[in-house]
Structure 1
Amino acid sequence: MTPLSLLKEVRSPLGAAIALQTLAAVAGVLLFVALADLAEQLPHGAAAIWPPLVLGAIAVLAATLLTSAATTLSHLADTRLQLRLRQRLADRIGRLPLGWFATQGAGRVAKVVRDDVHGLHHLVAHTLLDVTAVVVTPLAALGFLIAADPWLALVSVLPLVVGVALFARSLAGSAAQFTEYGTAQREINAGVVEFVNGIAVVKTYGGGQRAHRRFADATAVFHDFFRAWAGRTTTITTSAFLAVSAPAVLVVVLGVGIWLVDSQISSPADLLTAALLAPPMAAPLAAIGTWMQQLRAGVSAAESVTALLAEPELPQPQAPRIPDGSVVRLENVAFSYDGETEVLRGIDLELRPGTVTALVGPSGAGKSTVALLVARFHDVTRGRITLGGVDVRELSTETLFQHIGFVFQDAMLLRMSVADNIRLGRPSATDAQVHAAARAARVHDRIVEDPRGYDAIVGVDVDFSGGERQRIAIARAVLADTPVLVLDEATAFADPESEELIQDALSELARGRTLLVVAHRLRTIVDADQIVVLSEGQIVHKGRHGDLLAEPGRYARMWQAQEGSHT
């Protein structure tokens, strides 16, 4: 799919709009022809001026109505395209692997869905019509002039030819220059963000000069680049604008045209027609820079939209299977994020129903990656993961998430009622079931503190702390009632009071379920049925807390390090 192939969505209305704009441009040129004829007929009395006068009025009316109709159609096409693209993007995003969002970030999705789709507005609603007018107006004017006087047509086109040549020269290599321009702008933006995000540290510890050095250096680079670029192109660009300006065009046409009239090669009436048509024939070229920039911006936005639409979906099975039970097995699992470097190798693990398995290890050992693979946020590179004896790749997404739930470190609540946030786990749940889940998650009392209670809109009527959001997310998981649950260090960012409530809620949630826990605080998993120690993407130890503590190894060292920090 090419970027401009997105416009196939609105090919018919856009084609009609361009056709109407073409007729409007011809009508606009016809107005100047009527004015020239009117000037020629003035000495012949009132009866002679009526035909060109009526023709001019019709031309004005036609140009106005046709332009309005073309603009209306292009804007309707733009609205339809934005709706259709956002629907397609929403559909594509909904079928991407969940792990894709962790690597790409929400920023890219927001930029494409909001900014880049909107960025197509000028391309679809305005620029294509403007370019049509730029092309058709000179051609129509030239056609009328050739029919009237070929010599004057040749003279009239000379400023346009000179302007085109000068603009082409000034734009030579502009693609690379615009790329460098965009890179410089991004560096400035990155420098500003870095400085602003770190302002608290800068004010506390000083070093302001060092902290904003990236911004200052980026600004200096941009200044030097832009000054050099402007220095190379300003003179030639200014000359191009002068060549197609109305005074310059009139000087050329009248200067040469008067000589042609004196030589009886051309008539005064034809010279008047040339004087009226030559300026509008060359004038559109003066805006070529703006239109080219709009075209470039529109194509760039289209490329971003196309790239997101082309992201590979999570493969779905042709004949989905149903798991027999809820035993989870990882069999010789290996995984690579980039297709080259494996971050997990040879992972063999079994999660039995009603047991707690804890994943521990240093940062970067692969704990969270294992958890993500179990929930099929990514597909394994080698080996397989089964649920109830069935490869998770053979399960439909709906079936998979009916059996496996996930509670993240940073709980996300949507801008909807508190009750609906909890119901995400089971949309058909009754109010009584929602309230019961909230009580189990130790968050019911906090919810009813607000005057609107469960009907309060998150982010509008009520705001929750990190620990409170986490407990609402746990209530969601309680309501979903999946037999397998993955917890990615659910208490990592909680304060001591919230941590105690969250631990109580997790204890309630864990009852009777198969739990896979990513743990950083070893104290929280001493009662786990199975502790798996990971290092550099491999399992190095496996067992219960007491057994692992009794033998020398990484787990014992981690325990001593954490316990020593508490004394």
Structure 2
Amino acid sequence: MATTEQVSTLTDGTGGRAADDPTAAGEPPGAARGGPEEQAAQGRRMLVRLLRPYRGRLVAVLVLQAVGALAGLAPLLALAEIGRELLAPGPADRTAVWTAVASGAAGLLVRVLFTAAAGGCGHLVDGDLHLSLRKSLAQRLGRVPLGWFSRRSSGEVNGVVQGDVDTLHHLIAHTPGEFTSAVVVPVASLAYLAWVDWRLTLVALIPVLFGIAVHRLLSSEERRRQGMAVGQAMGRIGASSVEFVQGISVVKTFGGAGRVHQRYRRAADDFADFFLGYVAGSAGLASLSALVLAPPFVLLLILTGGTLLITQGAMPPAELLPFLLLSVALTAPVAALGHGMDNIHAAERSADRIHEMLSARPLPVPDHPALPDGDRVEYRGVGFAYDDGHPVLHDIDLVLEPGTTTALVGPSGAGKSTLAQMLPRFFDPTRGAVLLGGVDVRDIGDEQLYQRVAFIFQDVRVLRATVAENIALAVPDADRSAVVAAARAAGLHERVAALPHGYDSVLGEDIGLSGGEAQRLGIARALLIDAPVLVLDEAMSFADAKTQAELRRALDVLRAGRTQLVIAHRLETVTRADRIVVMEGGRIVESGTYQELMGAGGKLAQMWRAQHRHGNGTHEGTGR
């Protein structure tokens, strides 16, 4: 079985930290990088690298299939020889007839055994490849920064992890055998038929040569370019489908289902028109090729040529029988050859996209992790820009003293989330440093960092697992009493205790959580970790008054004694913060207490008035 290290040959050979990594540069999977010829060549190289660890077993598959394919001709050859013997003048040679019968039966048995062995070996290689690829992709996706995901839709990621990996199945499990048969069977058949009569053999070659010529026309660079465009269009349709399904609740809530359906229908119609044009460009030629390669046409051609030779006395009638039996064996592999090439081209494109994802640059891991001394957080001259050069943060200097609450406020796109997410290393700064306990967070090991920094997302994700397992996600060895205590402090215990299976209830099967309950589950997770530093993306914007009050009480329990960095969406939730930092355009424009900033009449005061003019339900200066 190939290991994930073997699969890493799809990257640059150094774990994927190539300086010219296109995915690290923010390019989504499947994005064009050069012309179709360049992309095809890149995909071909990636496919060769991908299959290199399995080269020995794939050769074994080819050998087994070749033996099986040759053995499969034995019954036809035996039948031909029996016919020639029985139709020849004079008495038939009984020994020769029975020898042919035995040879045909033995060949059939060998074919079954060797073809089954080739198929089984091919599927084992396919299974090992799938397992190794998915392990490697999971490991790489677990190490890339969160920003990598924010610039790609879940449909695109799923298309690579699921769709592109599955595309390789037919190539590994079936195409080697089909290709081997497509070469071995015609060559052996032609050799035998040429030995019988070379003139009728040339007639039998006409459909084969025509089929090969059509295949070359259908495999032109223009057709490959169109095929790549079809694949990209299908990817866009798949991505839009996934995004629509995942966002269906929001879409229906705000009455946008009709508009979204219309957009999806338009996208599907556009794809259908494009695909029909792609198919129409080759339909006539492909249909003609299918007709010429069809068994009835081949047999008619052989009968016509053989009849001419027989009537002219150039060939005995008995020698027509091998051509009638084997001529179909010449043309059938040509169609398989065309399908096999389609599978190879599809696999090349998939291997290229898999390579992009495996080449996504992970966050570096320190060789010698350092331990922070205390819980003081400091941002020193922090700047951040995406790899496309788009600046997000500019020279941020900020200190979070132990035990204090610092709130980040500002308009959408001000850089609040990016700044907060640098503390738990969802991003690394491109300039400056983020320190925890006097140590750059890039020099702290993951385990130590996440023991000290907890992050509560605005949109809490739950797993299809028990309530207890969901709460203990970061502390899987926590005992039940600790899990219950965390749930009780988060205000979730009564809801869970009322369930028939209690904490063993499976989320998504036995219970479905509301938004407020999911947020309380996230709070319980953070309480169980008991990290001294908390990054909180508040999620009470859409909660009703009762839920807000319950969540606020749970958060008060969570915040006690911790250093907090809060991303604030509702200004009234941070009036009691020790410090409010107002951001705009990736810069800190104001900093101070609520009273100081409101008294100064600056940006915070403007935001407060604007928010309350839109009816957010509080009164200026009350903080309630």
TM-score if structure 1 supplies the norm length?
0.92
- Secondary structure of 2:565's partner? strand
Deviation at 1:294, TM superposition (A): 3.3
Alignment of structure 1 residues 117-132 onto 2, 5 Å:
117-132=165-180
Q: Residues 394, 207 of structure 1: CA spacing in aligned structure 2 closer, same or farther, 3 A cutoff?
A: closer
Deviation at 1:421, TM superposition (A): 1.5
Give SS of 1:386's match: strand
Say whether residues 1:312 and 2:361 are aligned partners.
Answer: yes
Q: 2:570 aligns with which of 498, 521, 544?
A: 521
Cα shift readout 1:299-344 (whole Å, capped 9, x = no counterpart) = 3333333322221111111211111111111111111123401111
1:245-284 counterparts in 2 under 5 A? 245-261=294-310, 266-284=315-333
Q: Secondary structure at the match of 1:44?
A: coil
What amino acid is aligned across from residue 477 of structure 2 in structure 1? S
Match of 1:53 among 77, 101, 110: 101
Instruction: Say if 1:350 and 1:562 are closer, same or farther in 2 by CA, change over 3 A.
Output: same
Counterpart of 2:479? 430
Percent identity at matched positions? 43
* Deviation (angstroms), 1:459: 1.4
Secondary structure in structure 2 of the residue aligned to 1:304: helix
Q: Which stretch has the larger CA shift, 535-544 or 75-84?
A: 75-84
CA distance in 1, matches of 2:530, 2:198: 84
Question: Which residue among 75, 82, 85 is the counterpart of 1:41?
Answer: 85
Residue by residue over 1:328-370, the C-alpha shift from the partner in whole angstroms, topping out at 9 and shown as x without a partner, is: 1111111112340111101100011000000000111111110
CA contact (8 A) 2:408 2:581 kept: yes
Q: Provide the TM-score with structure 2 as the length reference.
A: 0.84
For residues 226 and 157 of structure 1, the distance between their equivalents in structure 2, rounded to whole angstroms, comes to: 33
Question: Contact conserved, 2:159 with 2:235, CA < 8 A, in 1?
Answer: no
In structure 2, the residue matched to 1:17 is 61
- State the match for 1:369 in structure 2: 418
Distance 1:230 1:318, change over 3 A: closer
Contact 1:164 1:240 in 2 (8 A): no
Partner of 1:136: 184
Between 72-81 and 520-529, report the one with greater CA deviation. 72-81
Q: 1:199 to 1:537 in 2, by over 3 A?
A: closer
Larger mean CA deviation between 97-106 and 502-511 belongs to 97-106
SS across alignment from 1:374 = coil
Q: CA deviation at 1:409?
A: 0.5
Distance 2:509 2:250 in 1: 28
Higher mean C-alpha displacement, 302-311 vs 347-356: 302-311
Provide Cα deviations, 1:499-558, integer angstroms capped at 9, x if missing partner. 111111111111111000000111111111111000011000011111101112111111
> Would the alpha carbon gap of residues 10 and 497 (structure 1) be closer, same or farther in structure 2, given more than 3 Å must change?
farther
Contact 1:116 1:302 (8 Å CA) reproduced: yes
Size of the aligned set, in residue pairs, is 566
In the TM superposition, residue 455 of structure 1 has moved relative to its aligned partner by: 1.6
Q: Does 1:332 align with 2:376?
A: no
Contact 2:372 2:436 (C-alpha < 8 Å) held by counterparts? yes
CA–CA distance in 1 between the matches of 2:360 and 2:209? 45
Three-state SS of the structure 2 residue aligned to 1:330 is: strand
Q: Are the aligned partners of 2:536 and 2:565 in contact in 1 as well (CA < 8 Å)?
A: yes
SS, match of residue 455 in structure 2: strand
Partner of 1:475: 524
Structure 2: unaligned runs, 5 residues or longer? 1-9, 11-45, 620-624
Q: 1:156 aligns with which of 190, 193, 204?
A: 204
Match of 2:31 in 1: none
The farther-off stretch of 172-181 and 434-443 is 172-181
Hey, what's the Cα distance between the residues in 2 that align with 1:24 and 1:343? 62
Question: Which residue, 243, 248, 254 being the options, matches 2:292?
Answer: 243
Correspondence for 1:104 among 144, 152, 156: 152
Instruction: Give, as a single letter, the amino acid of the residue that structure 1 aligns with 2:393.
Output: L
Return the alpha-carbon distance in structure 2 between the equivalents of residues 246 and 207 of structure 1.
52
2:606 aligns with one of 553, 557, 562: 557
Partner residue of 2:134? 86
Root-mean-square deviation (Å): 2.8
Tell me the amino acid that sits aligned with residue 32 of structure 1.
L
Deviation at 1:561, TM superposition (A): 2.2
CA contact 2:155–2:239 (8 Å) conserved in 1: no
Q: Could you tell me how far 1:21 is from its partner in structure 2? A: 0.9
Contact 2:155 2:242 in 1 (8 A): no
Judged with a 3 Å threshold, the aligned counterparts in structure 2 of structure 1 residues 165 and 148 are, in CA distance, closer, same or farther, namely same
Partners of 1:528 and 1:249 in 2: how far apart? Answer: 85
1:94-122, Cα deviation, whole Å (9 max, x unpaired): 22223333333444443333333333222
Change (3 A) 1:17 1:388: same
